[in-house]
Structure formats: structure tokens, C-alpha cells
Amino acid sequence: MKLPAPVRHGINLVELFVHRHGSKLGFGVIGVLLLFLWAPIFVVSFMSFADREVLNFPPDELTIQWYVSFLGNQQALDALYTTLHVAAFATPIGIGISILIAYAIDRYDFPGRTALQVLATLPMIIPLIVVAVAMTMFFGQLGLGSGFWMVVFAHSIQIIPFGTLIILSTLLSFDKTLEEASKDLGANELETFYQITLPNILPSIIAATLLGFTISFNEFVYTYFVKDTATNTLPTYIWDRLQHSASPEVNVISVIFLGVAVLMVLLAVLITNVERIAIRD
């Protein structure tokens, strides 16, 4: 159907505008989105140097007293230690299970293969509070109660979907003829995995491990539901402090979370070859 002349003229004007100013408009939108995302983080980081406990922006003077206060706060340091302790256990457990799931889905055809893939990624889709309540009821029915190891188990559950998807994507693009050549030369399946498969998927495993550690370090909802009074991580410590007052020390802890996230990203870039994962010849 032939469009009326005014409509065609309008479409041509839009195409001309997009052709001339499309890139500038796109960069402008991206800039606004980045500003929207990073402005609150900048404010929180900046307010961690506020000289007064009452949060007024901008602060009258800048100081590092709240960082000194955090380093002298034994409760906060204990919470930080517990957070690192939980992440140190939950990350290898979650990534180890992710490797097994990803390898099974990619390499074998068995009944329930699709169901396994759905179950492995389901915690990523279901709201956190729903899974947290379900785990609390599940642990209670089994008589496990709550505590440190329940927090570790909960964090491992949250890590598995992300680890599985990252590792599975690398396995799917992996050149399987290398494994066939290894077996033709006399290597068994286990030797082939350690000598051929593992070195090729190692960058994705490292990336998944760093992401898993970051997820565990920042996790609040699962922790809040399955922890006991003796287990207090840094996110739950912040929540407890916010119940009383919002001091710049809370902003200091927020800066720590930001620093850990940025550090994990930098380590992922430095240790793994990002281009190798993202670009295939």
C-alpha cells in the first residue's frame, strides 16, 4: 500500500534526523542512564567522609574519622570476617556444583536434562524472599535450624544459577574435536577433562568464581532469613545499624561493598581473557 505524501515526508525527516544525530542522541541517553546509576553511589561514597554524624549534603568538612571508627569497631570487623568466611565456603561449593551441572547438560543426553537446566537457573528467576522463606521452612522441617552453615548453603544456592550459565556458555562454544583427538590418542575421559577441557573453560570458571564471591559478599535477603543471632554478616550488620540511625559509618561499609565489587571486576579482566570469552574466531 502506497503511503500518502505527507506521511512519507515525515518518515524521511525522521530518517534524516536519526542519520545526522542518532549517535549523539544514543551517547546522550547512555550518559543520562550512567549518571542516574552512579550519582547515588558517588553521593554515598562522598558522604562517608562527612565530618558530622547528621547526614547533610554536601558536608561542611571532610574527614576520615568514620573509616578509623570502622576499623576500631569490633562488631563491624567481626561481621566483615563472617562475610568473608561465608563467601570462602559458599563460592567453591556453588561453583563446583555449577561445573558439574553445566558439564552434564552440555555433554550428556539423559531423562530430566531440560528439567535440570530449569532447576539450576530457577533461583535467578524466583523472587529472593520467596526462596528465602522456602529455605527457612525446609531447614526447619529437617531440624537443621539456622546458623552459619545454613547461610553458606543458602549463598551456594544463589551462586549456582550464575555459575552454571557462565560455564555452560563456554562449554557450548568449546571445540569438541579437541576432546575427540585426545581420546583418539589414548587419554580416558577424566584425563581429557583435566588436560583439554578444563584449561579451555578455566577463564569462565574464574569469572564465575569472582562473580559468585561478589554475590555472596553482598547477599542480604537469604542471610537475614536463615542466620542465627551469632551469625552476622556485613549486610545484616548495616541493616541493624540503620534501625537506629544512619551514620557516615554505614556509608563507609557501603564503600567497602563498592570496592569489593570493583576489585572483582578488575580481577576478572586481569586474570581471565575477556576477549577470549566474548570473541571467537
pLDDT digits (tens, 9 = 90+) for 232-246: 888 888 888 777 666
Lowest pLDDT segment from 73-87, 167-181, 202-216: 167-181
Domain coordinates in residue numbering, the chain: 1-47, 68-278
Lowest pLDDT segment from 81-90, 114-123, 137-146, 263-272: 263-272
pLDDT digits (tens, 9 = 90+) for 56-102: 666 667 777 777 877 888 888 888 899 999 999 999 999 999 999 99
Is 280's pLDDT higher than 50?
Answer: no
Neighbours of 209 (CB within 10 A): 24
- Pick from 95-99, 142-146, 265-269 the range whose average pLDDT is largest: 95-99
- Specify the CATH number for 68-278; select among 3.40.50.300, 1.10.3720.10, 3.30.930.10, 3.10.180.10: 1.10.3720.10
Is 279's pLDDT higher than 60?
Answer: no
Across residues 189-198, what is the average pLDDT?
81
Per-residue confidence band for 22, with pLDDT thresholds at 50, 70 and 90: low
Per-residue confidence band for 253, with pLDDT thresholds at 50, 70 and 90: confident
User: In this predicted structure, what is the pLDDT of residue 66?
Assistant: 75
Is 19's pLDDT higher than 80?
Answer: no
Across residues 35-46, what is the average pLDDT?
74
DSSP string, 137-156: HHHHHHT--SSHHHHHHHHH
Higher per-residue pLDDT: 86 or 230: 86
Q: What is the mean pLDDT of the chain?
A: 79
Whether the CB-CB separation of 236 and 224 falls below 8 Å is answered with yes
In Å, how far are 72, 86, 216, 260 from 253, measured between CA atoms? 13, 17, 16, 11
Question: Which ranges in 48-112 belong to alpha helices (H)?
Answer: 65-71, 74-107
User: In this predicted structure, what is the pLDDT of residue 86?
Assistant: 93
Per-residue confidence band for 161, with pLDDT thresholds at 50, 70 and 90: very high
Q: Which of 150, 149, 168, 172 is nearest to 95 (CA)?
A: 168
Identify the residue whose cell numbers are 569497631: 73
- Distance separating alpha carbons of residues 216 and 233, to the nearest angstrom: 10
For 174, the grid coordinates are: 568449546
User: In this predicted structure, what is the pLDDT of residue 5?
Assistant: 53
- Pick from 99-103, 107-111, 236-240, 258-262 the range whose average pLDDT is largest: 99-103
Whether the CB-CB separation of 238 and 128 falls below 8 Å is answered with no
Is 7's pLDDT higher than 60?
Answer: no
